[in-house]
Amino acid sequence: MARTKIDYGIDLGTTNSVISRIENGEAIIKKTDTLKDTMPSCVYINKKQAIQVGDSAYNALKRDKLTSMKSEDKSSNAYIEFKRTMGTDKKYFSSNLDKNLSSEELSAEVLKTLK
């Protein structure tokens, strides 16, 4: 039985991420759900504990930051640029999950979405 080889390339970026696949000897960028080449490396956890990644998370980030500025509760459940702290002990608290998340855990959510 011949084994089929599938080649992918992933750019897990600090700001944006992308995945491509070799098809017929050429790298083809896989489009996101919103038909863009890249997606924001952003993660948002809503009140129902659902995890959003990409454009929807980035839009939620903007809303979340405005809301936290107007209220006494300054916590946010939207995360961006967490890749900068990979390999450190830095944790990101999510009040909606009531737990700390590492940059590796947040990066894993971006990778899952790219997949």
Residue 2 lies in a domain: no
Number of domains in the chain: 1
C-beta separation of 40 from 59 below 8 A: no
Confidence at residue 4, expressed as pLDDT on a 0 to 100 scale? 66
- pLDDT tens for 20-78 read 998 888 899 999 888 999 999 999 999 999 999 999 999 999 888 777 677 666 678 99
Query: CA 75 to CA 71: how far, in whole Å?
Result: 10
- 3-class state of residue 56 by DSSP: helix
- 3-class state of residue 115 by DSSP: coil
Residue 3 lies in a domain: no
> What residue type is assigned to position 65 of the chain?
K
Q: Is residue 16 classed exposed, middle or buried when 0-12, 13-18 and 19+ CB atoms within 10 A define those classes?
A: middle
Look up the CATH number of the domain holding residue 62. 3.30.420.40
Residue 30 lies in a domain: yes
Structural domain span for residue 50? 8-114
